[in-house]
Amino acid sequence: MKITKLQAGTMVFFLLVILFILIAVPLFKKRLIQNHKISNATITDCSYGGRTHVGTITSIYNFYYNKKMIDGIAAFNSSELNFKDAKLLFVGKAFPVAYNPDNPNNNYLLIRPKDFKKFNYSFPDSLHWIVRYVHSK
């Protein structure tokens, strides 16, 4: 089977996109860990699964930076968190969020003990109530 120039170009394009993602995502995470500030974010909704996110609980949150609302999404594996617990207990609650002051859209919600550890913070006593609902791997 012969590959046309269009097919070859399409394959190269998708390979470049995948390569960009593989390089950019860790770079954004590294920059966030190295240069961040902490604010409070409020979880506004939780959803479960979907065609492309089977077994994933998605928490939607927002926080304010320079009087502008910034939206964020945190994803949890359903083995780490029960959807009913997330919906019932987390929606409307405030949690710390780490954000890059140069790019506040680069942010990360801190809920689980391992999230705090990633940023070299102690897990706060005020959040110990969630430990019984979150099962970290």
106 — pLDDT class (breaks 50, 70, 90): very high
* CATH topology assigned to domain 35-130: OB fold (Dihydrolipoamide Acetyltransferase, E2P) (2.40.50)
With CA atoms as reference, report the closest residue to 36 among 95, 99, 97: 99
Instruction: State the number of CA atoms in the 13 A half-sphere of 106 facing the CB.
Output: 18
d(C-alpha 61, C-alpha 101), whole Å: 18
Domain residue spans of the chain: 35-130
**pTM assigned to the model:** 0.75
Summarize the confidence of residues 67-95 as an average pLDDT.
Answer: 87
pLDDT of residue 117: 94
H helix count then E strand count, the chain = 3, 5
d(C-alpha 61, C-alpha 93), whole Å: 10
Cα dihedral sign, 79-88-113-104: positive
Instruction: Read off the pLDDT of residues 51-75 as tens digits, 9 standing for 90 and up.
Output: 665 678 889 999 999 999 999 999 8
